[in-house]
Chain A
Amino acid sequence: MILRNGYERSDGMNILWILGGAALLLVVYFWSLYNGLVSLKTQIEEAWSQIDIQLKRRADLIPNLVNTVKGYAKHEKGVFTEVTKARSALMSAKKLDSKAEANDMLTAALGKLFAVAEAYPQLKANENFTQLQKELSDTEDKVAYSRQYYNSVVNDYNIRIRTFPNTLFNEMMGFAEKEFFAASEEERKAVKVSFE
Chain B
Amino acid sequence: MTITSAISANVTKTYVIMALFIALVVLVAYVLGQALGYGNGFMWFAVLLSVFSSFISYYWGDSLILTMSGARPADRKRDFDFFTVAENLAIAAGIPKPRLYVIDDTAMNAFATGRDPKHAVVVATTGILATLERRELEGVIAHELSHIKNFDTRLMAVVAVLVGTIAYMADMFLRTLWWGGHRNRDEDRGLGSIMMLVGIVLAILSPVVASLIQLAASRNREYLADASAAMLTRYPEGLARALEKLGKDKEVLEAATNATAHLYITNPFKGKEFGAWFANLFNTHPPLPDRIKRLRAM
Contact = CB atoms under 8 A, between A and B. Distances in A.
A binds B: yes
Interface of A: 43, 47, 50, 54, 134, 138, 141-142, 145-146, 148-149, 153, 188-196
A195 B222 CA distance: 12
Most chain B beta-carbon contacts within 10 A, residue among A138, A142, A188, A193: A193
Interface of B: 1-2, 80, 84-85, 87-89, 91-94, 223-224, 227-228, 230-231, 234-236, 298
Contact of A193 (B80, B89, B230): B230
A188 B227 contact: no
Given A195-B1, A195-B2, A196-B223, A50 B91 contact: yes
Task: Label chain A's interface by main secondary structure.
Answer: helix
Given A134-B80, A142-B91, A146-B91, A195 B234 contact: no
Contacts of A47: 94
B234 A148 contact: yes
Given A138-B84, A195-B227, A189 B91 contact: no
B227 A142 contact: no
A141 B84 contact: yes
Nearest to B92: A145
Nearest to B90: A145
B88 A141 contact: yes
Contacts of B235: 188, 191
A196 B294 CA distance: 11
A22 B48 CA distance: 50
Most chain B beta-carbon contacts within 10 A, residue among A142, A188, A195: A195
Nearest to B93: A149
B87 A191 contact: no
9 contacts: A145-B88, A145-B91, A148-B92, A149-B92, A149-B94, A191-B231, A191-B234, A193-B298, A195-B2
A134 B84 CA distance: 10
A153 B234 contact: no
B234 A188 contact: yes
A142 B87 contact: yes
Given A134-B80, A142-B88, A146-B91, A192 B223 contact: no
A191 B298 contact: yes
A8 B88 CA distance: 68
Nearest to B1: A195
